[in-house]
Structure 1
Amino acid sequence: MSLTKYDGNIHPDEWEGGETSKYISNFRKLCYNAEIDVEEQKKYLYQSLPNNYFLTEFSKKKEKIKSTNELMKEFEEIVIDESNLIRYDSIIALKHVATGKYLSSIGKYYYSTGSGSQMVFASNLVLDRNGLWIIKINDTGFNNQELASYTDNTPIYLQHKNSSCYLTNCGRETKSPSTGNTEVCCNNYSAKWNFKNSKLENYQGYLRSNDIINLSTKYGGEPLQFLRSHELQFTIKNDTYQEVVCHSERLGGNDEWCIELVK
């Protein structure tokens, strides 16, 4: 029986008449025509899976599968789960949990104090183009579609989609406009960010859409600092913005962000 590898086209909105539906239909037809039992079907499906996540998850489930229908059901569940995982080069949004506003920046909108760099703030309750970020494994522009994880040894950079600048801790000597904490800005310096699941202690798995996370980074030899927002605002040219800062204090509710997969 000849079965091509599943190509990972997994968006649930595309299932009806999409590639996943076609793949399942083709798999069923090939198995029926070849008259093979479910144990052989499991072997063929395993060999066709595209990446380590599929292989690992299927290995956990395959022993309890007793029929073709169960096999397809487990495959569909893995597909749905995988569609919520975040890859490098995914477009994401970061919603501040306490206030419901999105981490944002606008090209050519600069702080009037501190570094004078492109400012970062928590914007509207409704996501717009200013709140879109790209998860990067490096700062070279190299495209890498691997799954992003919480492991400490993999650098994660956050590139603002519209301006192409990077989210950066500006160092403790550069004060934020409202509270005098460490300023957060966007510029060409690509700061490495560490992602930690705030609800699961020492979690080392993959990043998922709707995870609640803490983000931290270092500036040079300075101590680790965490990304925070709060309801305090600053004003530039008669417009007010909700402040985003870095700090090295105890973590609290203002340090939690919900990561949302956009694309």
Structure 2
Amino acid sequence: MDFPKYDGNKHPDEWLDDVQKYFCVRQGKDIGSILNIAMSLIDSTIKLPTGIDSLEKLRNALKEDISFTVFKNTNKRKLQSLKYIPERKGGDTSYFISTFRKLCYNAEINDIEEQKKYLYKSLPNNHFDSILVEFYKKMENVDSINKLIKRFEEIVSEETNLIRNGSIVTLKHVASGKYLSSISSLRYTTGSKFQLVFVGSSEPVPNSLWKIEFHNELVSYTDNSIKLQHIKSNQFLGIYYCYYNHYNGAYICEYYKSPSTDHTEVSCCNLNDAYWTKDWKFKHSKLDNYQGYLKSNDIINLSIKKTHGNGNYEFLRSHDIQFTIGNDTFQEVVCHNERLGGNDEWCIELIHEVKIF
């Protein structure tokens, strides 16, 4: 095949290295012959000075030509417009990193601090808020391109674990290792008679999948009212307090009691009236006053406000106490206002790829 000419659209170092590899290694040419061949392959629009008698002088001449200045500036502008797109939005991190490194090489940007600035600018503001805030803190001790890319990969991996509005998650009860679940065809036989809630399987199953609803894209610990919608039934997790007394025809405003204890019943429903509460607050159970973003494998406490009565918050809990419906036994899930403990801890797990349907 014909070896490509040099026309200013490739870095002179890279092009000359390719020339040497091709004509020396593959064709066994000596250095003098390679120099003559290389000079013959320079595009006629590029004027070389006289007296070039080595590949190093040819390299320097090509770098002094205006075409190389244009080439470097073009690659700098490409760097300025380069934007990182995560895989979940159709991007390719490996391709992005390859492009970033190539543009830095072509533009001869070798200073690590300047490379950090270009990499920082590549992060899109609309869904990388948490990463942008911490970027320079995480990059503080980075002093090489390899360390820079390694740290960037760690940041990207962390970003993929953030919980977002619309994320599909599971909630594992830490103490028992079982997942918060519901079944659309099963209802309590006491209390509200709504769709029951329990902790069941020790592995994620379709009945233990929930969708997060939040008013922003990222779910923040500082502004954290969320809704949990059961995937299989489309019902929401919550509590209900108004029921009808058939004996006297009056509505009694009390919260339904759980089937086995005197705690508040937790159920799934899709009502939109004032008696049904489905807004849950959460806090990190291990870190006080944590102000970051909710991410997969965080251990949290979930609470809900009793809008009727004193307006206190009660916490979501499961315990060893069970109840039966027909021939089936279920581990109870309730809300309570007692002291927090191990039974009130839930591990939220992001389901990236649901393969169990």
Q: Same fold (TM over 0.5)?
A: yes
User: Which deviations, in whole Å up to 9, do the C-alpha atoms of 1:19-42 show, x marking residues without a partner?
Assistant: 111111111111111111223222
Q: Which has the higher helix share?
A: 2
Q: Secondary structure at the match of 2:150?
A: helix
State the match for 2:180 in structure 1: 103
State the match for 2:22 in structure 1: none
Q: Secondary structure at the match of 2:87?
A: coil
Distance 2:325 2:262 in 1: 16
Q: Secondary structure at the match of 1:77?
A: helix
Deviation of 1:209 (Å): 1.3
After the TM superposition, which residues 182-261 of structure 1 pair with which residues of structure 2 at under 5 Å, given as runs? 182-189=264-271, 191-221=278-308, 222-261=311-350
State the match for 2:117 in structure 1: 43
Cα RMSD, aligned residues only:
1.9
Distance 2:347 2:144 in 1: 38
Q: Does 1:147 align with 2:218?
A: yes
Distance 2:170 2:318 in 1: 15
State the match for 1:137 in structure 2: 214
State the match for 1:162 in structure 2: 232
State the match for 1:25 in structure 2: 98
Q: Does the 8 Å CA contact 1:46/1:58 hold for their aligned counterparts?
A: yes
User: Which deviations, in whole Å up to 9, do the C-alpha atoms of 1:187-219 show, x marking residues without a partner?
Assistant: 014611111111111112111211111100013
Q: Secondary structure at the match of 1:32?
A: helix
User: Which deviations, in whole Å up to 9, do the C-alpha atoms of 1:90-133 show, x marking residues without a partner?
Assistant: 11111111111100011131111100101101011111000001
Distance 2:123 2:142 in 1: 17
Distance 2:334 2:138 in 1: 44
Deviation of 1:232 (Å): 1.1
Q: Give unpaired runs (5+ residues) of structure 2.
A: 1-75, 242-253, 272-276, 353-357
Select the residue among 51, 61, 64 that pairs with 2:141: 64
Q: Does the 8 Å CA contact 2:225/2:282 hold for their aligned counterparts?
A: no
User: Which deviations, in whole Å up to 9, do the C-alpha atoms of 1:35-81 show, x marking residues without a partner?
Assistant: 11223222211111022122122121334322211211111111122
Distance 2:295 2:151 in 1: 19
Q: Which has the higher contact order (CA 8 A, sep 6+)?
A: 1
Larger radius of gyration: 2
Q: Secondary structure at the match of 1:64?
A: coil
The size of the alignment, in residue pairs, is: 251
Q: Secondary structure at the match of 1:107?
A: strand
Q: Which moved more, 1:158-167 or 1:52-61?
A: 52-61
Select the residue among 79, 87, 90 that pairs with 1:9: 87
Distance 1:154 1:128 in 2: 26
User: Which deviations, in whole Å up to 9, do the C-alpha atoms of 1:158-180 show, x marking residues without a partner?
Assistant: 11111111100224530111112
State the match for 2:70 in structure 1: none
Distance 2:192 2:152 in 1: 51
Q: Does the 8 Å CA contact 2:314/2:336 hold for their aligned counterparts?
A: yes
Q: Percent identity at matched positions? A: 59
Q: Give unpaired runs (5+ residues) of structure 1.
A: 139-143
Q: Which moved more, 1:225-234 or 1:59-68?
A: 59-68
Distance 2:145 2:186 in 1: 57
Distance 1:173 1:186 in 2: 14
State the match for 1:34 in structure 2: 107
State the match for 1:81 in structure 2: 158
